[in-house]
């Protein structure tokens, strides 16, 4: 799957991923109204609204981008109905040949991580049959529990040719509270990065590993260090746009081959029609606003890469 991701990045010339993290407040009135007319102001109605919102954005952008990253929390907040919309979104994006990164940030003791890995990346046995639960292509994983909490995910990835992005240095303001603490003179995130590199070595695609890392766009200096610590790991970079990162800050997340990173934007793309720059599209044409925002993001990042490499 890492080979497919790289192939698609090269074809689209777009090392970016669209974060499908819909808040109900991002969904234009006319979509909400239609969903509520059909299902009432219910969890089902909310789920229908975010699914229709996602579908329009995917329809208007899928030819420009290699991948999407639905954030499962945004669906989980609507309970079972929300998770049905998550699953519909995953399936629809796959039908459009997009690589789907499930932003699930799971992680637990071994047997429990194995269950998460089965549910999101693998297949579960039921009597004589097997079924895929959520069936994303990649998943994000939290490393706090150590190797035996991560390995069950790696095992399933090996079997299914899927991949991981493991949290190393997250994009939020207080990520340093634990992640930056020095251990023998080195910050914890670097230690986790070294582990990611180790785990990744045994699970290589053609040029990059199945096992990648998450490093926030908001920490470009740490990104430059971690790029060297994990030379063969793809870095998923959240925090572009709404959280503050810009293309020129991100060149050191990439290797000299112009690869090695994929930058996520969520709100900046999916709620583009609410920004002044794209207001001319109007709420009715929110999908076109998202397309224009994707084009601008690609130009910003690819431009910065072309200038730097």
> 110-120 and 147-160 are packed helices; what angle lies between their axes, rounded to 10 degrees?
30
State which residue, 55 or 186, has the beta carbon closest to its own copies: 186
Active-site amino acid positions: 105
Q: Which of residues 277-306 bind its own copies (CB under 8 A)?
A: none
Give the count of residues interacting with its own copies (CB under 8 A).
72
Q: Is residue 113 within the footprint of its own copies (CB under 8 A)?
A: yes
Question: According to CB under 8 A, which one of 51, 53, 92, 116 is a site residue for its own copies?
Answer: 116
Please give the helix or strand (H or E) that residue 35 lies within, else none. helix 29-39
Q: Is residue 201 within the footprint of its own copies (CB under 8 A)?
A: no
- Which tokens belong to 48? 């229908």
Q: Interacting stretch for its own copies, rule CB under 8 A, among 9-17, 68-76, 246-254, 292-300? A: 68-76
Q: Interacting stretch for its own copies, rule CB under 8 A, among 52-60, 189-197, 285-293, 297-305? A: 189-197
Q: How far is the CB of 210 from its own copies (least distance, A)?
A: 20
Q: How far is the CB of 268 from its own copies (least distance, A)?
A: 13
State which residue, 13 or 94, has the beta carbon closest to its own copies: 94
Q: Is residue 30 within the footprint of its own copies (CB under 8 A)?
A: no
Q: Is residue 125 within the footprint of its own copies (CB under 8 A)?
A: yes
Question: What is the SS3 assignment for 16?
Answer: strand
Query: What is the rounded CA–CA span in Å between residue 116 and residue 129?
Result: 19
28 φ, ψ (degrees, to nearest 5):
-55, 150
Question: According to CB under 8 A, which one of 15, 28, 66, 149 is a site residue for its own copies?
Answer: 149
- The C-alpha angle with vertex 252 and arms to 248 and 258, in degrees rounded to 5, equals 90
Q: Interacting stretch for its own copies, rule CB under 8 A, among 54-62, 187-195, 196-204, 291-299? A: 187-195
Task: Tell me the three-class secondary structure of 145-184, residue by residue.
Answer: CCHHHHHHHHHHHHHHCCEEEEEEECCCHHHHHHHCCEEC
Asked if residue 197 lies in contact with residue 150, where contact means CB atoms within 8 angstroms, the answer is no
Query: What is the rounded CA–CA span in Å between residue 18 and residue 61?
Result: 9
Q: Is residue 83 within the footprint of its own copies (CB under 8 A)?
A: yes
Q: Is residue 100 within the footprint of its own copies (CB under 8 A)?
A: no
């Amino acid at each position: 799957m890492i080979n497919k991701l790289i192939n698609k990045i090269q074809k689209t010339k777009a090392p970016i991923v669209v974060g499908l993290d819909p808040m109900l407040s991002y969904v234009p009135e006319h979509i909400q109204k239609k969903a509520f007319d059909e299902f009432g102001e219910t969890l089902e109605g909310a789920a229908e609204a975010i699914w229709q919102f996602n579908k329009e954005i995917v329809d208007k952008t899928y030819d420009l981008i290699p991948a999407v990253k639905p954030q499962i929390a945004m669906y989980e907040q609507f309970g079972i109905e929300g998770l049905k919309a998550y699953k519909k979104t995953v399936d629809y994006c796959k039908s459009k040949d997009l690589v789907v990164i499930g932003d699930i940030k799971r992680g637990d003791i071994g047997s429990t991580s194995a269950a998460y890995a089965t549910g999101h990346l693998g297949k579960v046995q039921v009597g004589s049959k097997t079924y895929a639960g959520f069936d994303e292509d990649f998943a994000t994983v939290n490393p706090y529990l150590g190797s035996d909490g991560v390995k069950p995910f790696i095992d399933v990835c090996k079997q299914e040719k899927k991949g991981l992005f493991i949290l190393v240095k997250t994009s939020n303001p207080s990520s340093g509270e634990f992640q930056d603490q020095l251990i023998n003179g080195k910050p914890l995130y670097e230690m986790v990065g070294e582990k990611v590199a180790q785990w990744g070595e045994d699970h290589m695609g053609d040029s990059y590993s199945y096992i990648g890392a998450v490093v926030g766009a908001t920490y470009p200096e740490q990104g430059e260090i971690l790029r060297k610590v994990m030379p063969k790991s793809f870095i998923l970079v959240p925090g572009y746009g709404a959280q503050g990162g810009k293309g020129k800050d991100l060149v050191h997340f990439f290797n000299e081959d112009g690869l090695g990173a994929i930058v996520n934007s969520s709100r900046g793309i999916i709620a583009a029609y609410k920004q002044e720059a794209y207001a001319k599209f109007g709420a009715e044409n929110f999908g076109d606003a998202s397309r224009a925002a994707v084009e601008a993001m690609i130009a910003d990042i690819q431009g910065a890469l072309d200038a730097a490499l």
